[in-house]
Chain A
Amino acid sequence: MRLAHQFAMESDFITGDAVEATEFPHLAQRYQVRAVPRTIVNELGAIEGALPESRFLEGVLAAAQQKD
């Protein structure tokens, strides 16, 4: 969780939301959250689990480039 917030701090283009899955079950369902943490990037991509910094960065960049 902290990485997403730190990423947000380092870029004016990035926002980082912590979403409590049990309080927002409709979102957990929409984004197919079965295990946590699960990070949704721009509605399209997903990163599973807690990753180290460099891999989380790769995951975010890769997911952000996906188009629907």
Chain B
Amino acid sequence: MPILNERDRREVQEQLMILTGSVKLVNFTQELACQYCRETEQLLREVKELSDKISLEVYNFQLDKEKVAEYRVDKIPATVVEGSKDYGIRFYGIPLGYEFVPFLEAVKDVSRGSTDLTPETRAVLAGVREPVHLQVFTTPT
């Protein structure tokens, strides 16, 4: 049974029509002991089907250690939203519910390769020279 119903699909497809640059979704998963891994992978497959700009790579968190290290993911399900480069955008847990809109926004933003932040904010961020790790905790509903 699909996660996105027919109406969701049409709406998402419409939103993704604006994509210009390629988007790579990189999913880390495993078969057992991961409540939402299977659903997350399924959701990403469904989203991928809605735009030819989107590709999907799925890796096993236990076995694909090189990729785990490359993308620096430390828990699953993990989804990296990558554009022309890896911008450092991660979703841990299924990007559904309240996370679905930010997920689609991230897809659109990386595809465009730019943000709509103010020039002032961008100037300040461009000056950051130390690693900053932001973890935004949310809930599905």
Contact = CB atoms under 8 A, between A and B. Distances in A.
Interface residues of A, number: 41
Contacts of B114: 9
B109 A19 contact: no
Interface in B95-114: 95, 99, 102-103, 105-106, 109-110, 114
A33 B77 CA distance: 20
Contacts of A57: 121, 124-125
Q: Which of A5, A7, A11, A27 counts the most B-chain CB atoms under 10 A from its CB?
A: A5
B130 A64 contact: yes
Given A31-B137, A36-B138, A9 B110 contact: yes
Contact of A13 (B92, B106, B116, B129): B129
B128 A13 contact: yes
A64 B92 contact: no
A43 B140 CA distance: 23
Interface string A6-29: 111111111111111111100110
A2 B105 contact: yes
A6 B134 contact: no
B88 A16 contact: yes
Contact of B92 (A5, A17, A31, A53): A17
A1 B125 CA distance: 17
20 contacts: A1-B138, A2-B109, A5-B106, A6-B117, A7-B117, A9-B87, A10-B115, A13-B130, A14-B125, A15-B89, A15-B90, A16-B90, A18-B93, A20-B36, A22-B139, A28-B137, A37-B137, A39-B136, A40-B137, A57-B121
Interface of A: 1-2, 4-24, 27-28, 31, 33, 36-43, 53-54, 57, 60-61, 64
